[in-house]
Amino acid sequence: MCQDCGCGDPEIVPVEVQHKILEKNDRTAQHNRDHFVGDAILCVNLMGSPGAGKTAVLEATARAAGNPRKFAALPGDLATDNDAERLRAAGIRSRGITTGQACHLDAELVHRAVHHFDLADVEYLFVENVGNLVCPAVYDVGQSANVVALSVTEGEDKPLKYPTMFQNADLVLITKVDLLPFLPHVRLSAIRDSLARVMPDPRVIAMSAFSGVGIDEWLRWLDQRRTRILTDRALVGVHHG
């Protein structure tokens, strides 16, 4: 009730806040991250367009690493379990997340999937996000690293068209470089230039899941990132049951 004049009108009270709208997702993501780091698992959010070669990169990773038991994957798609089946055939423990109509994975979907997933002895968990260069960039799923797969067939200026996807990437895998001889108008230097205009400190590996180029460098990068979380974990004394 208006206290000033007794007119009987309701009073409008403004409340100023500083709330992240995705705070609930961020909290669940942090919960996921605490579990992964506590279990010495590097969780990678692997994003990219449909057909960028995300699943092929993981298959090649398993082939090159020798011991696919240390890898696990949660491939997300709107429909089918095809990617999970491909990854299982490559020896990677895998559980597909089918989203129905949703264009991205969020922390809750990953949390639910992990609850029914044996991660014993796993060192690297790949959340293979729904193929999409927009929505997955908005949602933290509990990863310790963001990796974007960008295939050479997508064009040199893709990063300029979808800056949000790339600005928070820790690494960009330029995939399908074995196709470059057939793409006379695509220059790796131009892709790198586009990335430098949307990423402050771009890390890039040019690779081919087909020929194996770049896979060793990618394995070294993964190893360094996992070593980093183990070091951080030791420093803060995190132990998980």
Contact between 1 and another protein by CB under 8 A: the answer reads: yes
Contact between 15 and another protein by CB under 8 A: the answer reads: yes
Determine the 3-state secondary structure of 104 from DSSP: coil
d(CA 111, CA 133) in angstroms, rounded, equals 22
Contact between 197 and another protein by CB under 8 A: the answer reads: yes
- Please provide the size of the chain in residues: 241
Region from 47-55, 129-137, 149-157, 174-182 binding another protein, contact rule CB under 8 A: 129-137
Per-residue x/- mask for another protein, residues 144 to 173, rule CB under 8 A?
Answer: ----------------x--xxx-x------
d(CA 59, CA 94) in angstroms, rounded, equals 12
Region from 37-45, 87-95, 100-108, 151-159 binding another protein, contact rule CB under 8 A: 100-108
Contact between 190 and another protein by CB under 8 A: the answer reads: no
217-220: long-range contacts (C-beta < 8 A, 24 or more apart)? 218/57, 218/61, 218/173, 219/61, 219/64, 219/65
Which residues are near another protein by CB under 8 A? 1, 10-25, 102-104, 106, 134-135, 137-139, 160, 163-165, 167, 193, 196-201
